[in-house]
Amino acid sequence: MSRLVSVAVPVPALDLLTYRVPDGLDVPAVGARVLVPLGARRLTGVVVRTGVPAPGGEQAVALKNLIDVFDAAPFLPPSVVGLGQWIADYYLCGPGEAVGAAMPPFAWVESEWRVRITPDGTLRAGAPRSLLRSTLRESILSLLADGAWAPLRSIAYRLEHAGGGRRGRAVPARAAIRALQAEGLVEVEDVLGGQAEAFKTTRVAAITAQGAQALTGTDPLGPKQRAALAALAAVPEGITVTRLRERGLSADVLQRLEGRRLIGIRRDPVDRDPFDSSSLPVADGGGIADGRVLTDEQVAAYEHLRQRAAERGFATVLLHGVTGSGKTEIYLRLAGDVRSAGRSVLVLVPEIGLTPALAGAFRSRFGDRVAIQHSGLSDGERYDQWHKIRRGAVDVVVGTRSAVFAPLASLGLIVVDEEHDGSYKQEDSPRYHGRDVAVMRGKREGALVVLGSATPSLESYQNAVTGRYDLLTLDRRVLDRPLARVTLIDMREEFAVRGPDVVLSQALVDGIARCVAREEQVLVLLNRRGFATAVFCRQCAGTIDCPNCSVSLTVHGGRGDVMRARCHYCNYATTVPKACPSCAAPYLVHTGFGTERVEREVAAAFPGARVARLDRDTIRRRGGAVSLLGRFARREIDVLVGTQMIAKGHDFPRVTLVGVVSADVGLGLADFRASERTFQLLTQVVGRAGRGEEPGEAIVQTLYPGHYSIRHARHQDYRAFFEEELAFRRAMQYPPQLALTNGIVRAGSLADAMKDAGTIVEALRKSAKGGHFLVLGPAPAPFVKLRGEHRAQFFIKGSRRAALREAIGRTLAALPDLRRRVIIDVDPVSVL
């Protein structure tokens, strides 16, 4: 078999590299990490293919050797490596970036083998050279003579550079060490170097064979040493050093025993439990799930899913259930069935930090067989969780986007909750969509995939309508609770009566007053942060813009009465000046408003109420959202003002009113998904009202009460919205009618960006001759300048994805200099 392997290395836009496995190293398995040379660097990579056929000619000569193999068995499961390759192909990114997305923290770092001399080795080291058979082996043993662990790499390096810098001895040195290991003269182990803090470890002492002999033999032993050995002899798997100390056996004693090799001290990992640190609330539903009677609709959906799961093959089911219809309960029961059948379960959620209840429900149902994976965890926590899953100590994983790569074996079920949510899409490379990767993973591993939402994405619903997915519908809330009654407030009328500065309509103020008086809770949504959206000069009509981005700065309250102006894209910030920077006139006014202003208005109108705000500015701290939402759940807050964060899947039974300050925030954007996003956001936030005993109400302020996304959200009529939006997408040739890819070219000036984008577009048009796709552009991007870079945009649309992909891949491969400055976004969620 060929000793060539293909390796993915974490370098953007780099293809797979082929290396030769040198003699002395075993051919690594797919999924194992290896150390490879790349130019002058040495990098960790992941083996993607083994037994690669030798390339011909020059390429064969240029093949380099692997430097080392870190893992004797696959580190990433081969199924996950395969998924990474699919991502690289589909999303047109480098395989190293794709595989890298599946790696746990610390996995790329210098993982290394270390080596230590054994007692036999020490004896042999003094023997005549003939017994060692080579000076190389002799030098190795003498380098290890002090009995301490040494990194194999440093031994190899020292031998390589010994004797007047003769090179090329690294591989023989490794081979010699392996041979010494086979003879029992040295021991070798795999450790992750330079990252002891990453592990939370505990030191465990265990008795060695020599120790056991010493205990029965005649070796001189102090009384403490004897006591320690006796204790350890009774517990062969070892006792933690802490426990031994508690028994009065000092570190000194243990060290001396270790020095005599009568005991060994190892480090065992201690898993950090993210549930401890973030104190996830346990959802009230989780624990009593088994005793609860499902509604008829829940029963019908659950029975269908159970049958699908029993088939043990791939299928995708869209569970379209209105807000509060009890989807979580169905996931929990299905997960229980799949687990009992010996298969594992993966549950994806958009943001655990905002919806810890779902993770809590799984935890309370399945105990510590559940792991959670999300970006709010520390690296150490994620590391521990990942390894726990990989060891098979976990069979249910609840996590955000990147958990789609969780190293679970025998996957039986993947749930994607709130499948429409935009946070499933990764906005930097690899630009994958967690939901779509989940479906692909289900397909590759023969698992059932359940997509759940009250407001499915157009793509998923279209797939259900055309029969690619099964469609299950829950039209009613549990216990027949009514959906919230929605009142639209036409703000043009409000402005006509009360002037143009109105933030809260009279109806909303009255509604909040009623709730506060009845000690019920209120959510107020405005999907825009800050105090004011722009600073405007009344003399020259200029605004204060970001120097790095083509946007105006947002005003935020600072300390005292100093206002700060900040860019939401690059974080540039400055104090709001007293006079206009362009014309020096002192007539600056704030225009537009965001959540800070709403919070202030509500607090001023209701001095007795407890008002708080949830947006990206108030939850900077890790766990900030969980603690704020916890306070709201404990009813320590009466009115919670916030951005879309307050709309996400929360279940607060005491919320009876939802106010939407401006339903139109997203409608003006030059994005074909603007209506869909507006409909989803409104329907979701309205769905937060009336989930308990009291019925709910929503008051929605808008300038466009006739807009279809607002009209249909008002009646929470998903199907009507879907039909109307689909007609628009058909007419405009947008997804799901066609596949779309967005290209952005970045350059130092707009002229350069446009010129380079033009080059790419021209090349693409040439390959589009067959008529399989259409190239639009180039044009200045909606954010024509972002973080100091100028941007030009182009689109490729077509019905045959493969043709589209192939053409882009080929075009960019032919333009290597440009490739690094081009962002290719396949199936973009946002085209701004």
- By CB under 6 A, name the binding residues for ligand ADP: 285, 292-295, 298, 321, 323-329, 478-479, 651
| Minimum separation from the CB atom of position 327 to ligand ADP (A) | 4
Q: Hey, which residues between 635 and 694 contact Zn ion (CB under 5 A)?
A: none
* Of 183 and 693, CB closest to ligand ADP: 693
| Minimum separation from the CB atom of position 320 to ligand ADP (A) | 10
* Of 188 and 669, CB closest to Zn ion: 669
**CB-count burial class (<10 Å; 0-12, 13-18, 19+) for 65:** middle
Work out what residue 139 binds among ligand ADP, Zn ion, none; the CB cut-off runs from 5 to 8 Å by kind. Answer: none
CA 144 to chain centre: 43
Work out what residue 569 binds among Zn ion, ligand ADP, none; the CB cut-off runs from 5 to 8 Å by kind. Answer: Zn ion
Task: Note whether 437 binds Zn ion by CB under 5 A.
Answer: no
Query: How far, in Å, CA of 525 to CA of 613, rounded?
Result: 10
Task: Note whether 548 binds Zn ion by CB under 5 A.
Answer: yes
| Minimum separation from the CB atom of position 644 to Zn ion (A) | 21
Work out what residue 285 binds among ligand ADP, Zn ion, none; the CB cut-off runs from 5 to 8 Å by kind. Answer: ligand ADP
Work out what residue 549 binds among Zn ion, ligand ADP, none; the CB cut-off runs from 5 to 8 Å by kind. Answer: Zn ion
* Of 688 and 746, CB closest to Zn ion: 746
| Minimum separation from the CB atom of position 569 to Zn ion (A) | 5
Work out what residue 546 binds among ligand ADP, Zn ion, none; the CB cut-off runs from 5 to 8 Å by kind. Answer: Zn ion
Which helix or strand (DSSP H or E) is residue 97 part of?
helix 95-101
* Of 452 and 777, CB closest to ligand ADP: 452
The pair of three-digit structure tokens given for residue 395, joined into one six-digit string: 């069979």
Q: Are residues 224 and 253 in contact, defined by beta-carbon separation less than 8 angstroms?
A: yes
Work out what residue 462 binds among Zn ion, ligand ADP, none; the CB cut-off runs from 5 to 8 Å by kind. Answer: none
Work out what residue 465 binds among ligand ADP, Zn ion, none; the CB cut-off runs from 5 to 8 Å by kind. Answer: none
* Of 98 and 413, CB closest to ligand ADP: 413
Query: How far, in Å, CA of 444 to CA of 129, rounded?
Result: 56
Q: Are residues 529 and 568 in contact, defined by beta-carbon separation less than 8 angstroms?
A: yes
Q: Hey, which residues between 549 and 608 contact Zn ion (CB under 5 A)?
A: 549, 567, 569-570, 572
Going by C-beta distance under 8 Å and a sequence separation of 6 or more, which residues neighbour residue 569? 546, 548, 549, 551, 783, 786, 787
Closest CA to 159 of 149, 169, 151: 169
Region class of 391: left (phi > 0), else alpha (psi between -120 and 50), else beta? alpha
Query: How far, in Å, CA of 667 to CA of 674, rounded?
Result: 5
Region class of 157: left (phi > 0), else alpha (psi between -120 and 50), else beta? alpha
**CB-count burial class (<10 Å; 0-12, 13-18, 19+) for 344:** buried
* Of 552 and 678, CB closest to Zn ion: 552
Using alpha carbons only, what angle is made at residue 470 by residues 469 and 475, rounded to the nearest 5 degrees?
120
Going by C-beta distance under 8 Å and a sequence separation of 6 or more, which residues neighbour residue 554? 529, 530, 531, 532, 533, 534, 565, 566, 567, 568, 594
* Of 365 and 785, CB closest to ligand ADP: 365
At position 695, the amino acid (one-letter code) is: P
Dihedral, CA of residue 177, residue 178, residue 181 and residue 187, to nearest 10: 70
Which helix or strand (DSSP H or E) is residue 151 part of?
strand 150-151
* Of 141 and 544, CB closest to Zn ion: 544
Query: How far, in Å, CA of 638 to CA of 631, rounded?
Result: 10
Site string for Zn ion, 742-771 (x = CB under 5 A): ------------------------------
* Of 454 and 522, CB closest to ligand ADP: 454
| Minimum separation from the CB atom of position 460 to ligand ADP (A) | 16
* Of 78 and 653, CB closest to ligand ADP: 653
Work out what residue 115 binds among ligand ADP, Zn ion, none; the CB cut-off runs from 5 to 8 Å by kind. Answer: none
| Minimum separation from the CB atom of position 783 to Zn ion (A) | 9
* Of 566 and 673, CB closest to Zn ion: 566
Query: How far, in Å, CA of 4 to CA of 64, rounded?
Result: 10
Dihedral sign, CA of 389, 392, 394, 398?
A: positive
| Minimum separation from the CB atom of position 479 to ligand ADP (A) | 6
Work out what residue 524 binds among Zn ion, ligand ADP, none; the CB cut-off runs from 5 to 8 Å by kind. Answer: none
| Minimum separation from the CB atom of position 301 to ligand ADP (A) | 11
* Of 150 and 669, CB closest to Zn ion: 669
Query: How far, in Å, CA of 91 to CA of 828, rounded?
Result: 10
| Minimum separation from the CB atom of position 619 to ligand ADP (A) | 22
Q: If binding means CB under 5 A, how many residues of this protein chain bind Zn ion?
A: 7
| Minimum separation from the CB atom of position 259 to ligand ADP (A) | 60
Task: Note whether 784 binds Zn ion by CB under 5 A.
Answer: no
Work out what residue 6 binds among Zn ion, ligand ADP, none; the CB cut-off runs from 5 to 8 Å by kind. Answer: none
| Minimum separation from the CB atom of position 330 to ligand ADP (A) | 8
* Of 410 and 550, CB closest to Zn ion: 550
Work out what residue 741 binds among ligand ADP, Zn ion, none; the CB cut-off runs from 5 to 8 Å by kind. Answer: none
Q: Are residues 144 and 115 in contact, defined by beta-carbon separation less than 8 angstroms?
A: yes
Task: Note whether 783 binds Zn ion by CB under 5 A.
Answer: no
CA 308 to chain centre: 28
Work out what residue 548 binds among Zn ion, ligand ADP, none; the CB cut-off runs from 5 to 8 Å by kind. Answer: Zn ion
Task: Note whether 546 binds Zn ion by CB under 5 A.
Answer: yes
- Nearest residue to ligand ADP, by Cβ distance, number only: 285
Paired strand residues for 621: none
Say if strands 611-614 and 639-642 run parallel, antiparallel, or are unpaired: parallel
**Contact set with Zn ion (CB under 5 A):** 546, 548-549, 567, 569-570, 572
